[in-house]
Amino acid sequence: MSIERTFCLVKPDGVQRGLVGEIVQRFERKGLKLVALKMLHVDKDRAHRHYDVHKERPFFGELIDFITSGPSVAMVLEGQDAIRLSRGVIGATRPEDATPGSIRGDLALTTGQNLIHGSDGTETAAAEIQNFFSDNELIEYKLDVGPWIG
């Protein structure tokens, strides 16, 4: 296992439902270190870059409309095997397939409004972090609990 960074985005439905604190808490309780966090309105240009992989799919327009419909909360998490761990915390894309105890398994209602996005690999994470954060927004610090969580 290696120390890596991943990107997560609490989507507009998560913000509107007042779930940001609980979502961030789940990652922290898992032992992931928060190195960047901000609330923003995702503009269309950033949304297009974020969802570029889906541009040929019929639901692309719906993705863009939804992610730009209200404020979101972007974050960068760091830790051993952070991508795999965060995806476990998030749960499957379809809430009905998500494991109980995961964010989507416990809190999401529909696939179209499933509360949160998480990077699926190291290259994706790097691109998504760069799309949402500048280098000076990523805070380097030592967690004093590091020896206990890996």
Q: In terms of Cα–Cα distance, which of 13, 24, 21 is closest to 65?
A: 13
- 102 belongs to a structural domain: yes
Task: Tell me whether residue 110 is in a domain.
Answer: yes
Query: Is 147 inside a domain boundary?
Result: no
Q: Is 90 helix (H, G, I), strand (E, B) or coil?
A: helix
Active site residues: 117
Helical H runs in the chain? 12-16, 20-30, 44-50, 60-67, 82-90, 103-107, 122-132, 146-149
Total domains in the chain come to 1
Domain presence at residue 128: yes
pLDDT bucket at 11, cuts 50 / 70 / 90: very high
- Please give the model's pTM, rounded to 2 decimal places: 0.94
Domain assignment present for residue 108? The answer is: yes
The verdict on residue 16 lying in a domain is yes
- Is residue 149 included in any domain, yes or no? no
Domain enclosing residue 110, as ranges: 3-140
Give dist(CA 85, CA 8) in Å, integer: 12
> Is residue 86 one of the residues assigned to a domain?
yes
Mean pLDDT calculated for residue range 12-21:
98
- 26-64 confidence digits (pLDDT tens): 999 999 999 999 999 999 999 999 999 999 999 999 999
Domain containing residue 30: CATH number: 3.30.70.141
Tell me what the mean pLDDT of segment 82-103 comes to: 97
